[in-house]
Structure 1
Amino acid sequence: MERCWNCSAAAVEDSPCTDGAPIPSPQFPHRAFWGSLTAILLVVVIALSVTGYIGFRQPGPMSMLQVVRITVPDQTGTLVNQSALVDKRNNVVTYSVTSHSNHTSTVMFDIKHGLICYKPDNQETCFLRKMERPDYENVHTLFDESQQVSQFWLVGNETQRHTEFLGVLGSSHVNVSTLQEPLQTLCQQSSIYWTRRADGPGKQRLIYFCIDICFPSNICVSVCFYYLPE
């Protein structure tokens, strides 16, 4: 009790007497603050890591496009270069075929809609054909092989070559608005006709033009067109 009476008057007014023991000063809750801040930072880091992982795992639109180059000797031994744009996102393969006269034709394989479109150079015309089983096999070979390399050199004596004849049905004019993308864009300003496979043009008909297409599976197809009699 004697120590209590020695407390100053100011101390008595501010706080009760502590019997001489030191009065603890108020402390800011540092431990709770830093714990909360650490938890928030941890959550942010985890969120950024997950977002970056997903972005890395999911390729962008441009990474789904790949240019594949195919070099093959023709029947005279001259090297012929072709390029194919493989669009894995839309299941489309677009060939650019340059002839000996420096005319580049476009051949588009639309796997999704099961169509092949031939667009010769210097002509405002598109020719359509439905894909068949060999077409699907050849294009899928290109899809599979393009995952490994982007350039193919085909061996002349191992390459299988054959010719396909397609008759142009002049009476079956196609409205471009009925086509789906990307065929609609390719043939926007062109006359469009259906074709059908035939044994040959016959002596009375002349071949209109031919397009040679080669695949990584050592298969080359020469597609020749002619107009059917109306």
Structure 2
Amino acid sequence: MERCWNCSATALEESPCTDGAPALSPQFPHRAFWGILSAILLMVVIALSVIGHIGFRQPESQSMLQVVRITVPDQTGTLVNQSALVDKRNDVVTYSVTSNGNHTSTVMFDTKHGLICYKPDNQEICFLRKMERTDYENVHTLLDESKKVNQFWLMGNETQRHTEFLGVLGGSHVDASTLQEPLQTLCLQSSIYWTRRADGPGKQRLVYFCIDICFPSNVCVSVCFYYLPE
């Protein structure tokens, strides 16, 4: 290979021939390498941060919803299974109650807004009632106990049972848009009516339907509805 010698009066320097092309800086490959490496490390850090954020939020959101199963013998001794969806973040408990006729009704306890909503199966209708002290106590028992276990077996000889009668106020139609979530979604396509507690329907009124609800505190309530005179 031909070599070029550049001589000066003060020093003798040896440099490769460039044939007129400018010489490349020997520092360019070094700087490019560290620049690319820094960019790759930055991308890795961002990716790990995103994955860690998603992984942290997903278990947290999932832990806010829990399905609780309650098994209790009915009056004849037959085991009845109920399930409750516990929304701990919004303090909402939604019961799915299956009757002997294989019809499943929905009962939603919204403690944030102090309302109970009853929605019978295969009927586009919802009945509302304001929560009372005993309702809060029963729901809070389920919210507290669900932190420990997700299945409850109630003993028939220890379970307290009673019946509540609710009269349906025919002239109190409620617009679904005025309700808060999640009640609004539950009753969006339904006729909504207020109810009030009563001693009983009396001989002249017929019971419309009944829903049995059991709580982990060994309390079962049979809620029966009937229409009040207009």
Q: How far does the alpha carbon of each residue in 1:122-147 deviate from its partner, in whole angstroms, 9 at most, with x for none?
A: 33321100112222232233233333
Amino acid at match of 1:140: H
**Structure number, greater radius of gyration:** 1
Q: Aligned residue for 2:94? A: 94
Q: Is the 8 A contact 2:4 2:14 kept in 1?
A: no
Aligned in 2, Cα 1:96/1:39: closer, same or farther, shift over 3 Å?
same
Q: Is the 8 A contact 1:86 1:143 kept in 2?
A: yes
Is 1:192 the equivalent of 2:186?
no
Q: TM-score, normalised by structure 1?
A: 0.79
- 1:141-160 mapped onto 2 (5 Å cutoff): 141-160=141-160
**RMSD over aligned Cα, in angstroms?**
3.1
TM-superposed CA distance for 1:191, in Å, is: 2.1
- 1:46-85 mapped onto 2 (5 Å cutoff): 46-59=45-58, 64-85=64-85
- 1:67-216 mapped onto 2 (5 Å cutoff): 67-216=67-216
Amino acid at match of 1:147: K
TM-superposed CA distance for 1:58, in Å, is: 1.5
Q: Aligned residue for 1:17? A: 11
Aligned in 2, Cα 1:219/1:29: closer, same or farther, shift over 3 Å?
same
Separation in structure 2 between the aligned mates of residue 148 and residue 48 of structure 1, nearest angstrom: 36
Q: TM-score, normalised by structure 2?
A: 0.79
Query: SS at 1:194's partner residue?
Result: strand
TM-superposed CA distance for 1:212, in Å, is: 0.5
Give the paired residue count.
220
Q: Is the 8 A contact 1:67 1:83 kept in 2?
A: yes
